[in-house]
Structure 1
């Protein structure tokens, strides 16, 4: 394993432990999801800052707000990674009010609002919130039974794209129809197709690269998750890295993680979830440094947005899973 990769892995573990010290009652999967937010940005958790953001959220929103439901700790993590948590929260609440005009409230909507608040200028909020609904309606028209509140996250990221609505919807549909025969979960394939639609290249090429990586991982004994994990694989496939090298790196990271406390056989983190986080750590090697240095390239910007979409979709799904586990206990 490369030294930088090992440091990234160690940072994920350390971030999870620090998150757990602040959110000690949260489900382990949710702690890991929050750690993933920091690690994907190359940041270490500062417990004092995280605690301050937790208190800030408590002060600014009511106890029954969806900002303090299962999305509470991921939103706190998003605030803690921003340069100005107070302003970021105020902006997120503003976007949330705009989105509520067009969407039923849910645990996914606050995350969607925070994504827009972090990635757009205040002068764009109203336009992006409106475009988010427009894209959602078009998505719903194509897949009336698949499209639901959880897709608002992808719609928001697509609304931030410079691509036209027609381009993204057509691209997503072609990717969906190309990939669906390979996977059982229609929801997961729809999410993957949305991520791929944010990336530049022909739909056929994107699907071929994704399936090549999936099959090579499977051949190496690492069957990638085919539920909400699947969209993170699409980002890796489009990173421009050599698929054999990506498989080797994921294999090394997954093996290392399996030996860490909270990731082994008796943990509540499944093998497929662990593999997804191995993929997220791998993304840092192929996206962050080089990508940010060449951010003037539209394709690279699209890939960074796609990375955000995949990670936050995983966070949202983790939040929902954690909430379901809590309610069943």
Structure 2
């Protein structure tokens, strides 16, 4: 394994452990998603700063708000990695109020608000919030029963794009049609198609590269997850790196992680979830290469997409676990 890759792996684990000391009641996947936010920016968690951001949420947001539900910890992590947490939270809450005019509240809507607040200027918030709903309506028209609250996060990302709305949705729909026969989960394929629609390039080529990477990983004995992990595969396929090199690096990272505490056979993190984080770390390496200057999608946006996909996966898994626990009582 490359030295800088090993450092990223060690930093992910250190960040996870530091986050656990602040959010001790959160599940392993939520803590890992938060750790990924810091690691993607080459930052080590400062527990005091993270604790301050946790308190800031308590001060500024009602206990009944979705900002303090399942998304609380990832939002605190996003704030802690910013230069001005208080201002970013104020901006995020402003965008959230705009989005609430057009969306039912959910654990995913605060994520969309925070991403929009961080990636755009206040003068653009109203327009982007409105566009987020327009894109959601176009999605809903194509898949009325499939499109749900979790898609609002990806709609927010798509609303930041310079691409035409209709063109993006048409691209996403074609990618969905091409890829769906290969996977069982319609929701996961829809999210993957949203990722690919954000990327430039011929849609057949994008789908082909994604499937080629999936098959190469499978052949190497590292079958990628086909549920909430799937969107991050699209980012990897579009990173501009050589697919064989990507597979080799993911395999090395996954093997190393499997030997670490909290990632082994008896941990709460599944093998496919671990592989997703191996992919996210590998993606970070390939996005830092010079090839990304001419790759299909901007490196900053790519990291945000992967970060958001990981947060959505953590929230979905936590929500499912809570529902299962509730039904068994």
Q: Does residue 1:16 correspond to 2:13, yes or no? A: no
1:1-329 aligned at under 5 Å gives the runs: 1-288=1-288, 290=290, 294=293, 299-301=296-298, 304-326=300-322, 328=325
Q: CA deviation at 1:41?
A: 2.0
Task: Give the CA deviation at 1:44.
Answer: 1.4
State the distance in 2 between where 1:33 and 1:47 align: 16
Q: Mark the CA change 1:125 to 1:289 in structure 2 (over 3 Å): closer, same or farther.
A: farther
Q: 2:55 and 2:252 mapped to 1: Cα distance?
A: 38
Q: Is residue 66–residue 110 contact of structure 1 (8 Å, CA) maintained in 2? A: yes
CA displacement, residues 44-97 of structure 1 (integer Å, 9 cap, x when unaligned): 111111011001111000111110001100000010111110000000000000
How many residues are matched?
A: 325
Contact 2:240 2:291 in 1 (8 A): no
TM score, norm. by length of structure 1: 0.96
Contact kept? 2:240, 2:295, Cα under 8 Å: no
Partners of 1:152 and 1:13 in 2: CA distance: 30
Aligned partners of 1:195 and 1:310 also within 8 Å? no
For 1:326 and 1:149, the matched residues in 2 are separated by 17
Summarize the Cα distance change of 1:69–1:200 in structure 2 as closer, same or farther, 3 Å threshold: same
CA distance in 2 between counterparts of 1:222 and 1:172 reads 27
Give, in whole Å, the separation in 1 of the partners of 2:234 and 2:207: 8
Whether the 8 Å CA contact 2:198–2:297 is kept in 1: the answer is no
Cα RMSD over matched residues? 1.5
Report which structure shows greater RCO (CA 8 Å, sep ≥6): 1
Distance in 2, Cα, partners of 1:202 & 1:322: 36
| TM-score, normalised relative to structure 2 | 0.96
Where does the alignment leave 5 or more consecutive residues of structure 2 unmatched? none
Cα distance in structure 2, aligned partners of 1:148 and 1:261? 35
Stretches of structure 1 lacking an aligned partner (at least 5 in a row): none
In the superposition, relative to structure 1, how do residues 46 and 288 fare at CA in structure 2: closer, same or farther (>3 Å)? farther
- DSSP 3-state at the match of 1:42: coil
